[in-house]
């Protein structure tokens, strides 16, 4: 089970002026964000209408990947976690902030241009439910991630200055979340970032582009599962790419098969189940503390 994640190091994002920030572009501007494997791929899809954002980060020790986005006028920088697994872009914000997490930049001061509760983009965002707003003058959001982290706030409109690859500047007005209440699972260490760049393809995009979009996710196609170099017999499993998730998740059946093969593989090694560690359903521990990831790899 060796994760092939090296390509992430070369991940670049391209913005095209024919798409939109996932679920969050104003109607007047339609911008696309596309994740690409390497700069060279840009020649196939790239045009003067592309914007490239350099991705920074690593699997370890940081554990996340981010881009620098400039927001507002005058523009200020924010480090945003790139997340192909969620739809909403949000930035920690001084609305005032009720609960903000430690971050590299000062909180974003929201524009006065709030999305209203009855606006189409608010209705689309909450679909299939009706928006529930504290006031008709604002569009509240509440997003919950698989790792139990949450962000609550309101949708605002703001300038996002960007430079096309041909050098021309553009500043679309983008709808995104001003997050004034961020929570993480107890004991979890949140990434040291200012917010999330949601690149998912759900909800609003699907609603607004019903014919052009048949898939809501970044699909990697199908996979065959190998454990210890041997096939598990499970193949043609559809796999999704979620850049914002720390763990790889399996559905119940493959999870059980992989676990049982892994348990078999680990028989006779120095690894023992660590029932006292409740962080995940199954944990193992070595006979002595590990000094590096390499020590762990040697056991699998
Ligand atoms: C650069 O590309 C953008 C987007 O296609 C276009 O609007 C702009 O006119 C181009 N600028 C130049 C100098 O060609």
CATH for 48: 2.40.70.10
Among 16, 109, 104, 31, residue whose Cα is nearest residue 64: 104
**Alpha carbon of 293 to ligand 1 centroid (Å):** 47
Distance 200 CA to ligand 1 centre (A): 27
Q: Using alpha carbons only, give the angle 157, 169, 125 rounded to the nearest 5 degrees.
A: 25
Indicate the pLDDT class of residue 298, thresholds 50, 70 and 90. Answer: confident
d(CA 174, CA 169): 15
**What does the alpha-carbon distance between residue 167 and residue 183 come to, in Å, rounded to a whole number?**
39
160 part of a folded domain:
yes
Picking from 112-121, 139-148, 203-212, which range would have the lowest pLDDT averaged per residue? 203-212
Q: Which residues share a beta bridge with 170?
A: 162
Q: Where are the alpha helices (DSSP H) in the chain?
A: 42-45, 120-126, 203-208, 252-266, 293-297
- CB of 222 closer than 6 angstroms to any ligand 1 atom: no
Spatial separation of the C-alpha atoms in residues 35 and 50, rounded to whole Å: 12
Task: Domain of residue 166: give its range.
Answer: 10-207
Residue 289 lies in a domain: no
Q: Is the pLDDT of residue 297 over 60?
A: yes
Q: Is residue 50 part of a domain?
A: yes
Count the neighbouring beta carbons within 10 Å of the beta carbon of residue 84.
Answer: 21
Residues that are catalytic: 83, 242
Weakest mean pLDDT among 30-34, 74-78, 130-134: 30-34
Alpha carbon of 254 to ligand 1 centroid (Å) = 49
The whole-angstrom separation of Cα 120 and Cα 234 is 44
pLDDT at position 122 is 95
Report whether residue 164 contacts ligand 1, using a CB cutoff of 6 Å: yes
Nearest Cα residue to 78 out of 65, 88, 67: 67
Which residue's CA lies nearest to atom 9 of ligand 1? 168
In a domain, 270, yes or no: no
pLDDT at position 222, please?
Answer: 86
Q: pLDDT grade, residue 299 (50/70/90)?
A: confident
Res 267: pLDDT = 85
Q: Residue 296 domain-assigned?
A: no
Q: Which of 206, 198, 203 is nearest to 125 (CA)?
A: 203
CA dist., res. 90 & res. 71, Å (int): 11
Inter-residue contact 204 to 115 (CB < 8 Å): no
17 CB near ligand 1 (under 6 Å): yes
Q: How many whole angstroms from 49 Cα to the centroid of ligand 1?
A: 7
> What's the confidence (pLDDT) of residue 42?
36
Q: Is residue 125 part of a domain?
A: yes
Cβ(182)–Cβ(141) below 8 Å = no
User: Measured from the CB, is residue 166 less than 6 Å from ligand 1?
Assistant: yes
Using CA atoms, how far apart are residues 95 and 118, in angstroms rounded to an integer? 21
In a domain, 35, yes or no: yes
Which of 164, 165, 169, 170 has the most ligand 1 atoms within 8 A of CB, as the residue to mutate? 164
pTM of the model: 0.67
Specify the range with the lowest mean pLDDT, choosing from 1-10, 138-147, 229-238, 280-289: 1-10
Residues 14 and 36 sit within 8 Å (Cβ to Cβ): yes
Task: Provide the number of structural domains found in the chain.
Answer: 1
Indicate whether 8 pLDDT > 50: no
- Sorting pLDDT into bands at 50, 70 and 90, what band is 219? confident
pLDDT in tens, 98-130: 999 999 999 999 989 999 999 999 998 998 899
What percentage of residues in the chain have a pLDDT greater than 70?
A: 78
Q: Ligand 1: which residue has its CA nearest to atom 13? A: 168
Phi, psi at 176, each rounded to 5°:
-150, 175
Cα–ligand 1 centroid distance for 236 (angstroms)? 43
Q: Is 48 in the pocket of ligand 1 (CB under 6 A)?
A: yes
Nearest to 26 by CA among 96, 124, 95: 124
Q: Which of 91-100, 242-251, 256-265 has the lowest mean pLDDT?
A: 242-251
Measure the CA–CA gap between 94 and 27, rounded to whole angstroms.
25
Task: Determine the residue of 168, 169, 171, 172 to mutate for testing ligand 1's pocket, defined as the one with the most ligand atoms within 8 A of the Cβ atom.
Answer: 168
Whether 247 is in a domain gets the answer: no
């Amino acid at each position: 089970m060796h994760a092939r994640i090296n390509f992430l190091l070369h991940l670049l994002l391209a913005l095209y002026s024919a798409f939109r920030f996932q679920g969050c572009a104003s109607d007047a501007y339609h911008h696309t964000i596309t994740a690409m494997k390497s700069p060279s791929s840009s020649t196939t899809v790239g045009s003067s209408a592309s914007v490239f954002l350099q991705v920074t980060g690593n699997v370890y020790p940081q554990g996340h990947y981010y881009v620098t986005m400039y927001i507002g006028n005058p523009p200020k920088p924010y480090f945003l976690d790139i997340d192909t697994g969620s739809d909403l872009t949000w930035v920690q914000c001084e609305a005032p902030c009720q609960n903000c997490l430690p971050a590299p930049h000062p909180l974003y001061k929201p524009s006065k241009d709030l999305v209203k509760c009855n606006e189409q983009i608010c209705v689309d965002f909450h679909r299939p439910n009706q928006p529930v707003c504290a006031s008709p003058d604002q569009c509240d959001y509440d997003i919950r991630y698989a790792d139990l982290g949450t962000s609550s706030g309101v949708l605002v409109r703001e300038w996002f200055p960007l430079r096309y690859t041909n050098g021309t500047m553009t500043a679309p007005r983008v709808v995104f979340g001003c997050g004034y209440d961020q929570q993480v699972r107890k004991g979890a260490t949140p990434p040291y970032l200012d917010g999330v760049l949601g690149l998912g393809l759900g909800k609003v995009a699907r609603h607004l582009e019903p014919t052009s979009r048949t898939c809501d996710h970044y699909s990697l196609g199908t996979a065959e599962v190998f454990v210890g170099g041997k096939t598990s017999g499970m193949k043609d499993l559809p796999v999704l790419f979620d850049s914002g998730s720390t763990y790889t998740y399996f559905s119940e059946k493959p999870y059980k098969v992989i676990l049982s093969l892994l348990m078999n593989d680990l028989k006779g090694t120095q690894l023992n189940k660590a029932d006292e560690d409740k962080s995940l359903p199954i944990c193992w521990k070595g006979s002595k503390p590990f000094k590096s990831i390499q020590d762990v790899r040697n056991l699998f």
